[in-house]
């Protein structure tokens, strides 16, 4: 695998970079502001803090935005100014936000047991609406399946979007109009085999697809809508036990999904957490070779491959900004 990663590093123009400094940067993590307009937010397994790297920045010197750990699954606003993430604490879970320029400490938006959601816990997959005024996330009430909830970015106006205990919901992705989300669903949280469109206005959900094609058993984490609202990228679980990134047309998911990543000789490798970087590029997380890194793949492709290495030593990536 070292040979493969080395080739990817050269392709990405990273070969001359210094080793990563796990101490991170400043801002909310301690000092000075940085420019972030579009790029990745992610966490590191080593310290479970939130980091960001702008597309024009150095992937070996990410900006650390938090310092106390316990973070997971960050997401960035469309204007690139704010990150939301899940923070696990002794008493449960919080949704916290922090500026991407490192100018302020994280602040809590919503917490387990907050008014209107007694017993809500196990927060997952927060994501901003296009305007950056609301956050949709998955949660449960201590056991069973996950529901979807929405809260305003200032912590007000919490509401439950789904109320079907027989269905579990994964990571949501907003359609361009900001009025509804695409979300993988299933009978359990580990077998998300359908795609639904869930409205924020309270109108009934609609099935986008109840068939993910011949290769995909179910979605691992999330299915994300392309910037033009016409395509979907998802992390599909394979019968081998691994997962790969698949892309297809939203209008014909069951017949159009195609695999866009592959790792020769590593059937159990896991590619997950896809994000659209543009209408023709998808970023994702891969543990191929035993290390978790962020890669990029161009779509469509006639020859699935490992992708181009972008950011080493990362987890839970999300691409955002303008």
pLDDT per position as a tens digit, 249-269 = 999 999 999 999 999 999 999
Single out the residue of 229, 206, 232 nearest to residue 219, CA to CA. 232
Burial 25-48 (b: 16+ CB within 10 A, else e): bebbbeeeebebebbbbbbbeebb
Q: Is the backbone of residue 104 left (phi > 0), alpha (psi -120 to 50) or beta?
A: beta
Q: What would the pLDDT profile of 117-141 be if each residue is shown by its tens digit?
A: 888 899 999 999 999 999 999 999 8
* pTM attached to this predicted model: 0.89
Torsions phi, psi for 200 (to 5 deg): -85, -5
Predicted pLDDT at 116? 81
Which 8-state DSSP code applies to residue 227? T
Predicted pLDDT at 1? 38
Q: What would the pLDDT profile of 141-154 be if each residue is shown by its tens digit?
A: 867 899 999 999 99
Tokens 């081998």 identify what position? Answer: 240
Q: Domain coordinates of the chain in residue numbers? A: 2-321
Predicted pLDDT at 20? 33
CATH number, domain 2-321 = 2.120.10.30
């Amino acid at each position: 695998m070292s040979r493969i990663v080395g080739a990817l590093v050269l392709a990405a123009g990273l070969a001359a970079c210094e080793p990563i400094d796990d101490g991170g940067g400043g801002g909310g993590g301690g000092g000075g502001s940085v420019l972030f307009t579009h790029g990745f937010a992610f966490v590191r397994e080593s310290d479970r803090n939130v980091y960001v790297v702008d597309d024009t920045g150095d992937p070996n010197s990410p900006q650390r935005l938090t310092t106390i750990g316990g973070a997971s699954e960050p997401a960035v606003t469309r204007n690139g100014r704010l990150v939301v993430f899940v923070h696990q604490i002794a008493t449960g879970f919080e949704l916290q936000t922090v500026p991407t320029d490192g100018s302020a400490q994280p602040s809590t938006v919503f917490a387990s047991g907050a008014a209107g959601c007694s017993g809500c816990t196990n927060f997952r997959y927060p994501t901003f609406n296009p305007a950056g005024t609301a956050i949709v996330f998955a949660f449960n009430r201590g056991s069973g399946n996950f529901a979807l909830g929405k809260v305003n970015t200032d912590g007000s106006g919490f509401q439950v979007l789904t109320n079907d205990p027989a269905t579990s919901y994964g990571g949501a992705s907003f359609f361009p109009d900001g009025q509804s989300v695409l979300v993988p669903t299933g009978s359990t949280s580990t077998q998300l085999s359908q795609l639904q469109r869930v409205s924020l206005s309270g109108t009934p959900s609609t099935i986008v697809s109840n068939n993910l094609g011949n290769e995909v058993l179910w979605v691992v984490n999330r299915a994300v809508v392309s910037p033009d609202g016409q395509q979907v990228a998802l992390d599909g679980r394979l019968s081998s036990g691994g997962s790969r990134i698949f892309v297809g047309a939203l209008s014909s998911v069951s017949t159009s999904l195609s695999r866009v990543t592959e790792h020769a000789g590593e059937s159990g490798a896991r590619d997950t957490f896809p994000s659209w970087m543009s209408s023709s590029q998808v970023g994702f997380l891969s543990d191929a070779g035993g290390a978790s890194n962020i890669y990029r793949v161009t779509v469509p492709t006639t020859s699935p491959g490992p992708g181009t290495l972008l950011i080493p030593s990362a987890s839970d990536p999300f691409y955002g900004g303008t």
